[in-house]
Amino acid sequence: MLKRSRSAIYTTDYHLVFNTKYRRGVLQGGVARRAREILEVVVAKRGWTIREIRVISDHVHMLISISPQERISDVVKHLKGTSSYYLFREFPELRTKLRKGHLWAPSYFVRAAGNVTMGTIRRYIKEQEKRHE
């Protein structure tokens, strides 16, 4: 899907994966639902698009479309920082499961997604939920 800005026509899709600190399986039930809601709101407010998302107990997979002016490192920082803030605020019990108030591990995986691999990435993300149930 092509998008337009004042100076460009583009499609910049990324497959993102970020893990909870220590791979702790804290993203379950209400926490997982709320994490997804928060990420969807953050993405919508920034004008980005989620093409696919799965919140698994210890990590998140996203296929996200952003503008070419955005740096992916800033996008990830914003997603992780905002979601962490609200999840710790709404679920204070997370602090007992994760030391030092860090929800997310500092690293992440990112791969640019071309049209050729889009369907493959979507299937992969959808299958992750089944694998971790």
Per-residue pLDDT of the chain (133 residues; tens, 9 = 90+): 777 888 888 889 999 999 999 999 999 999 999 999 999 999 999 999 999 999 999 999 999 999 999 999 999 999 999 999 999 999 999 988 887 789 999 999 999 887 656 677 778 888 887 776 6
Give the pLDDT score at 116: 55
Both tokens of 67, joined, read 């503008």
Q: Measured between alpha carbons, how far is residue 47 from residues 1, 37, 90, 107 in Å? A: 15, 15, 25, 24
Three-state DSSP state, 111 = strand
Annotated catalytic residue within 10, 22, 85, 124 = 124
Q: Helix, strand, or coil here: 77? A: helix
pLDDT in the model for residue 115: 61
Which two three-digit tokens encode residue 69? 């002016």
52, 23 Cβ separation under 8 angstroms = no
Residues listed for the chain:
133
**Spans of all domains in the chain:** 3-131
Q: Which of 75, 74, 67, 62 is nearest to 35 (CA)?
A: 62
10 is catalytic: no
Inter-residue contact 4 to 52 (CB < 8 Å): no
Q: How far are the Cα atoms of 78, 115, 130 from residue 24, in angstroms, in the given order? A: 21, 33, 18
Fold for the domain defined by 3-131: Alpha-Beta Plaits (3.30.70)
pLDDT at 122: 78
